[in-house]
Amino acid sequence: MKCEISTRGIYTVIALQGEVDLHYSPQAREPILTCLKKKQNVLVDLSAVTYIDSSGVASLVEGYQEAKSSGVKFGLVGVSKAALQVLQLARLDKVFSIYDSVENLLAN
């Protein structure tokens, strides 16, 4: 798994690539929570995620909860088909704010 962090407008974008599984989910969790604890608005880009398991989903849920308690924005962007299927199975597609692209979000 790769993780790239960038700033786009008012958001810190954390782009994950590859498999987000038990082995790699801590590498996804750490930057998400670090940015949120600094009161940064966070978008997690899942467009290049080929596989995500329950530990990866748990990292996203933890980020969502931290954002709610910190009063900052948190969302998912460009969710890949593989990731979306897992989120839909857990009905989390109804919980997370999901955007098709950072560009479209910033344009609105």
Q: What is the pLDDT of residues 35-50, one digit of tens each?
A: 999 999 999 999 999 9
Nearest to 67 by CA among 106, 31, 97, 40: 40
Write out the E strands in the chain. Answer: 2-8, 11-20, 41-52, 74-77, 98-99
CATH 3.30.750.24 is right for the domain spanning 2-99:
yes
Q: What is the pLDDT of residues 60-71, one digit of tens each?
A: 999 999 999 999
Listed by start position, the domains of the chain span 2-99
Q: What is the pLDDT of residues 17-37, one digit of tens each?
A: 999 999 999 999 999 999 999
